Every structure is written in structure tokens, then in C-alpha cells.
């Protein structure tokens, strides 16, 4: 059994760690509220815009649009959305695992990773899929998350597809459900998928003003920018939810560890006192004898 000094040092160390994890939990809880409000406000707009795009596509037809061209997949860009910081459970590892699965599924194609978030960028920077030209500042997007910054990244993806530099763009991120649940999601951003055959979107009647081709050509890029921004907001809220949950569990585990250490400390202290008493008794008996 460890001596009393070692156990006391261990208790102090665990208590310090528990204070840190508890503070991180409270900080993440405060940030989660703001992030959750942002994605809650954004998601209905993004989903409605996506529905409008599908309805318009069914009514107008986007076959003539450059963003709907189904080309032979030779070049693929995989946008991996992670966090800049760790201590959030399996949040980043789950996205990286899904990204590796997507990369493996495109065997034979030239796959390049665009890392949005330091953790994903640090992982893929060591692999053959990393390209510095596509990743000028992977961690900058979350330093000041806004639609303007997100639109700049989305515009690069749109331009790359329109110019033929890439044939397919996939976004991988954690979709926020609640503080304890985040769902890893892989969405095809480009080319724009046609509306599902089992929906009745084609029956929607639209009056187009101005020309329908102009409307579709402006609606698709706007929708793509909104979809990417929604993915970033989802990931941002999921990060704080995952970190709050992880720090809550870490705090609870530290508390249980402190209880166990205190029990061991009391046992060691009692054993030491008992040993001292036995030594005194034995000494007294030796003097009497």
C-alpha cells in the first residue's frame, strides 16, 4: 500500500484536475446555449431553402446547370469539419473515422481533404490526401464563425467544381441533436443531387420571374453556401455539447477517484497508527519482561 504522503499528493492532484474539468464543463454549457440557439434559428431556413431548390429543380430541371453535372469521379474534395481543441470525447475521432471511410470508398480517384478545424487538419496533414493549396488556414473558420467567412470557403468549392478541378464534394461533420447526442453525417454538396423520385415535389406549380434559368443559377450557389454554413453551425454546437458531456463525466469520475483515494488514505493512516501502537505495546512488554 502506498504511503500517506503519496496518497495525499494524489488526492491534491485529482482535486485540481476536477476543478479544471468542472470549470470547462460550465464554460462549454454557456457556449452551448448560444451555439444551440444559432443552429436552431438557422436549420429551418436551410431546410426550407433546400426544399425550394428541390421543388424548383423538379419543375425547371437543373440538367443544364453546371452544378448538377454528373461527371466521372476522378477528383474528390472531402471537407472534414472538426474542432480546434480536444477534450470533447470521440467528437473529432468519429469524424476522422468517417472521413477515412469516405476516402477508402473512392479508391482510384484523386481525393483531397479540406480541413475545417485544427484537429482534423493536424491528422490529415500527415497523409497523402492533404494539400496545402486547399488549406490556407484550417483553424481560422471557428475563430470567428460567420456566414461571410463560410461563404468564402463555399465559393472556392463552387468555383472548383464549375472550373472542372473537382468532380465531387463531400462534407463530413457532426450533426447536432442534443447535448449528449451528435450524429456523424456525410453529405454530398456537389454535384447537386436531383430530387428523390418518391416525392411529389414535381407537382408544385411555380411562376418564375425573371427567367427560370436565372433563378436556378442564383438559387443553387446560395443554397450551397447556406448548407455549408449550417454544417459548421451544427459542428460548433455539437463540439460544445460533446465537451460539456465529456467534462461532466470526467468530473464525476474524478469525484469517485477522490473518494477511493480518501478511503485508501484512511486505511493507510489507521494501519500506521495500529502499527505504532503495536510497537509501543511490544516495547513496554519487553521492558517489563
Length of the chain: 289
Instruction: State how far the alpha carbon of 215 is from the alpha carbons of 54, 55, 221, 222, in Å.
Output: 13, 13, 11, 11
Q: How far is CA 288 from the centre of its chain?
A: 75
Burial call 125-136: b when 16+ CB within 10 Å, e when fewer: eeeebbeeebbe
Catalytic residue among 88, 99, 114, 153: 88
Phi-psi region of 128 (alpha: psi -120 to 50; beta: other; left: phi over 0): alpha
User: Rounded to the nearest 5°, which phi and psi values hold at 187?
Assistant: -120, 140
3-class DSSP state of 142: coil
What is the distance between the alpha carbons of residues 4 and 232, in angstroms, rounded to a whole number? 50
User: Do 96 and 130 form a contact (C-beta atoms < 8 A)?
Assistant: no
User: Do 153 and 169 form a contact (C-beta atoms < 8 A)?
Assistant: no
Establish whether 152 is a catalytic residue: no
Neighbours of 31 (CB within 10 A): 17
Q: List residues with catalytic annotation.
A: 88
Amino acid at each position: 500500500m502506498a504511503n500517506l504522503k503519496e496518497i495525499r499528493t494524489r488526492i491534491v492532484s485529482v482535486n485540481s484536475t476536477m476543478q479544471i474539468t468542472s470549470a470547462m464543463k460550465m464554460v462549454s454549457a454557456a457556449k452551448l446555449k448560444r451555439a444551440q440557439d444559432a443552429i436552431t434559428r438557422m436549420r429551418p431556413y436551410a431546410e426550407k431553402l433546400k426544399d425550394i431548390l428541390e421543388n424548383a429543380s423538379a419543375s425547371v430541371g437543373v440538367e443544364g446547370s453546371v452544378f448538377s453535372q454528373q461527371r466521372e469521379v476522378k477528383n474528390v474534395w472531402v471537407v472534414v469539419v472538426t474542432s480546434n481543441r480536444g477534450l470533447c470525447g470521440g467528437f473529432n475521432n468519429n469524424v476522422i473515422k468517417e472521413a477515412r471511410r469516405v476516402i477508402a470508398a473512392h479508391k482510384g480517384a484523386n481525393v483531397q481533404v479540406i480541413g475545417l478545424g485544427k484537429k482534423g487538419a493536424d491528422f490529415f496533414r500527415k497523409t497523402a490526401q492533404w494539400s496545402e493549396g486547399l488549406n490556407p488556414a484550417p483553424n481560422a473558420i471557428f475563430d470567428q464563425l460567420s456566414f461571410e467567412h463560410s461563404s468564402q470557403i463555399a465559393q472556392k468549392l463552387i468555383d472548383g467544381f464549375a472550373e472542372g478541378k473537382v468532380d465531387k464534394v463531400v462534407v463530413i461533420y457532426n450533426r447536432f441533436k442534443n447535448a449528449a447526442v451528435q450524429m456523424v453525417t456525410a453529405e454530398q454538396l456537389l454535384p447537386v443531387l436531383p430530387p428523390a423520385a418518391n416525392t411529389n415535389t414535381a407537382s408544385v406549380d411555380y411562376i418564375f420571374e425573371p427567367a427560370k434559368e436565372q433563378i436556378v443559377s442564383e438559387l443553387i450557389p446560395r443554397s450551397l453556401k447556406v448548407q455549408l454554413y449550417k454544417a459548421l453551425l451544427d459542428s460548433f454546437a455539437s463540439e460544445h455539447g460533446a465537451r460539456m458531456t465529456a467534462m461532466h463525466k470526467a468530473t464525476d469520475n474524478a469525484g469517485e477517484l477522490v473518494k477511493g483515494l480518501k478511503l485508501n488514505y484512511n486505511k493507510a493512516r489507521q494501519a500506521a497508527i495500529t502499527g505504532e501502537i503495536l510497537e509501543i505495546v511490544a516495547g513496554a512488554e519487553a521492558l517489563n519482561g
